[in-house]
Structure 1
Amino acid sequence: MQIIHLDPKNPPPLPKIALTIGNFDGVHLGHKTMLYALKNMASQQHLHTAVMIFEPQPREFFTPNNPPARLSNLAEKSAIIKKLDIDYLLVVDFNDEFRSLSALDFTQLLKKLNANHLMLGDDFRFGHDRLGDKNFLQNQGFIVDNLTTICHQNARISSTQIRHALSLGDLTTAKMLLGQDYSIKGTVVHGDKIGRTLGFPTANISLSRLKPALKGVFGANVLFFNQNDELIKPCDLTHSHHKGILGIHPNSLLGAVNIGTRPSVHGADYRLEVHFPDFDGNLYGLTAQVIFLHYLHDEKKYADLSTLQSAIGNDIKAILDWQKAVK
């Protein structure tokens, strides 16, 4: 898959494409159904496939101080779409200039991109005047198919529904709608090292989003990758005798996760921190994929560091007990 950061004033020359457009946050089962339909249609008409997405997502642009929770960052989204064998991922910088495009301006951009056939959701609208829809595109000479809403248990599968499930710690519903366990992937970076002073060192993992879709304390399995995105086996992560506890997922380590703003230490920004029981090693610079499997509780504000330390110990014990019960 070729990733193109699109300059609307100078679009790249592309072969004839079948195109779909949207945020594709989380790339859930509804999105995947759309992409499978796009591929099938493109194959029948001998077209290449392309997906157009926006960074930042429009609602993040319009409300940066109170953004919606984000299911997947650009790298995560790209990785999932690549696995579905899409030919081109067109990443649009959603800014003041782009948002000011009229519906007619946008259709001119699609023509320059050699878009021949469009596959869109039934609620798709575009242009700063919101005049763009299926009929508008057809009047401009495009072939347009609308994919009807995909439902699960009589409810529309949507990123909003998944965000709601995750906000409640309902990992089971999120998994059903995504088609896989919810996970976050990022680089292990340096943090405040408060956990280390409490006797529970953590790996701080970059979120690369304004606001994560879940918060609280979780049991997770964590996979590690090198700079070439090659999986690293747990036994190769450290030369120490403390190699951690294997997770349920193959080649993963069990982790006790806190994701949120850390109210007990007066945190302000969102952090993703993972403690690995019985592990001693240097993880900085590696990429970690945190697979959320068990919700323990929401973030809590403890009276002092001593109380926090005791609570962390209890949470780790509960997560160890959970994995023993399900493994």
Structure 2
Amino acid sequence: MKYTTLPNTDINVSKICLGTMTWGNQNTQEEGFAQMDYALDKGVNFFDTAELYPVPARKETYAETERIIGNWFAKTGNRDKVVLGSKIAGTGDYTAHIRTNGFSKEALNNAVNDSLKRLQTDYIDLYQLHWPERKTNTFGVRDYKYNTDDQWEDNFNEILYNLDEIIKTGKIRQIGISNEKAWGTMRYMEASKQHDLPRMCTIQNAYSLINRVFEGDLAEVAHRENIGLLAYSPLAFGVLSGKYIKGTAEKNARLNMFSHFSRYSSENATQAAKRYLKIAEDHNMSLAQMSLAFINERPFVTSNIIGATNLKQLEENIESINVSLSDEIIEAINTVHADIPNPAP
């Protein structure tokens, strides 16, 4: 395994992060336990979860993933071996069953305390805001649209102040953002500088061969502000494993179970994935490992959040840390990207 640090901290994390959002829906607690055991044994010390998980978000399964992780900590005593990230859910139609008061002081305190109980721990290493409260282009929306009905009021300073109070209690160590845009990221960074408040050390956004939107403005923000990308959906819901192209996906594969998750399944995305598959096969590697190796090697990526529904997938995904891509492969990848840029934003 390879390691780095969360930017501007002394917290060492593995370049591969174990994603958990299938546990409690596609995966049982027993399977989640097996994945955590295997990942830790392979040197993965960074786990990422959220109060929202498992996905799809439903009232019936709310926060089940955190409960599974907490039960594993209680069983194994491995809390001190893991850097743990979790998130507070933002406002949205499919989070109304969680709360409706956004990132208010009350919401942040309740969310942190409830997560700590479920996770059976006294602290969370990295606490993240799952997406912005304001209306902006996240979750597969390509372009920003002017919103005249947005009732959001600027609260960056307030959020950081309230998070600072929680940090001082020891319940969380560091903070980050997720599904944020360049403007919001810079507002948080500037607020922390101007008012001596905690700084966001990471940004967790989608990033894959068929979604390289981060390489626009946010890549420069990451570079110049030293905020690290935690790349999620690096295999684009399994599209970049090649299993849907080849017709080998199992019944419990995400897109077989949840057909409405169509973000990565457009005609252009499928065509791009087929071309990436050929590049991988021409160089005697799996599409999954090539796709993950590309993410692992990007200079602005702090950690690559992988997910799996079985141990065979998990083994292949973790092993990507030992795969190096030649200049020839990178050139071929960039040719496809130039021909079909970001087909799944």
Q: Same fold (TM over 0.5)?
A: no
Greater helix share, structure number: 2
TM-score under structure 1 normalisation?
Answer: 0.28
Q: Relative contact order (alpha carbons < 8 A, sep ≥ 6): 1 or 2 greater?
A: 2
Larger of the two Rg values belongs to structure: 1
Structure whose residues are more often strand by fraction: 1
